[in-house]
Structure 1
Amino acid sequence: MNYKEFVGEVQHRLEYAQFGQAVRACRAVLTTLGERLQEGEATDLASPLPMEIDHYLVAADHGQRFDYQEFLERVSKREGVDRSDANYHTQEVLALVASVVPAGNLEKVRAQLPDDYEQLFELVETADGGRTSQ
């Protein structure tokens, strides 16, 4: 999947009229996720993604500790949406990432995050028919 296809799919999933809105959602979600993950996990997750997308994960200031509510607050501010939209956008972007990266990469991410981040994986569960474990 190339950059335009990836962002176009986010645009479709989020029902955005403009490509730039989808880019902003990708950047907000993946930069914030990159901040929360350790550098190695962020790099592993990013490697199968288009170069323009993986940059958001690998260029972040890694290893920060914050709960899921703070995660949503950061996504909300970066994207300029409310927290409920930030939650939905986060789930949709991660579900798309899950369809591109090997399951093992996503499982490593999941194992690194505290239990309150399980909401992040709700659409991954339904999109892949239960590929990831609870």
Structure 2
Amino acid sequence: MKYEEFLKHVESVAQLNSREEAERATRATLETIKERIVGNEANHLAAQLPEELAGYLRGREGESGQAFSIKDFISRVGEKENVDPTAAVIHIRSVFTVLQDAITPGEFVDFQHNFSEDYAELFPPSSEITA
């Protein structure tokens, strides 16, 4: 999936008003994913995304992910994006939904395994976390 297509899908799924809003939502979510998951897993995810998005996931190679709650994940995205928690949840869900379409099914499963079951509400309904 190309960069512009990814952003267009995020904008549509989240019902945002502009490409710029979709860029902010995507960047905030991917940067928070980078903080949360193991660095090498972030690199695997980055390898399947356009370079403009992949950069948000790189830079923690060989590091462990930070263990923080779903509430903290939502808060971090909201702070980065400067939106309230309700909007942050919608944006995270939208980015996760587009990610599911943008990467291979196996990589999406690997990505999900970085999150505990309490994160399930952020993932598309058709996917299941079986950690």
**Which TM-score band (shorter chain)?**
0.7 to 0.9
Q: What SS is found at the alignment partner of 1:112?
A: coil
Tell whether the 8 Å contact from 1:94 to 1:124 is kept in structure 2 after alignment. no
> What is the alpha-carbon root mean square deviation over aligned residues?
1.8
Aligned length: 128
* In 2, Cα distance between equivalents of 1:133 and 1:14: 22
TM-score, structure 1 as length reference: 0.86
Counterpart-to-counterpart distance in 2, 1:53 and 1:39 = 15
Partner of residue 89, structure 1: 91
Rounded to whole Å, the distance in 2 between the matches of 1:17 and 1:117 is 27
User: What is the Cα deviation at residue 16 of structure 1?
Assistant: 2.0
Is the CA contact (8 Å cut-off) linking 1:11 and 1:17 kept in structure 2? yes
Q: Cα gap change, 1:133/1:112 in structure 2, threshold over 3 Å: closer, same or farther?
A: closer
> Residues 24-35 of structure 1 correspond to what in structure 2 (within 5 A)?
24-35=24-35
Give the 3-state SS of the residue equivalent to 1:57 in structure 2.
Answer: coil
| Structure with the bigger percentage of helix | 1
Is 1:7 the equivalent of 2:10?
no
Q: How far 1:95 moved relative to its partner?
A: 0.7
Asked if the contact 1:27–1:56 (Cα under 8 Å) also holds between the matched residues in 2, the reply is yes
Shift of 1:106: 1.4
- Contact preservation (8 Å) 2:113, 2:129: no
Gaps of 5+ in 2: none
Shift of residue 56, structure 1, vs aligned partner: 1.1
Unaligned runs of 5+ residues in structure 1 are none
- Structure 2 distance, partners of 1:97, 1:80, is 22
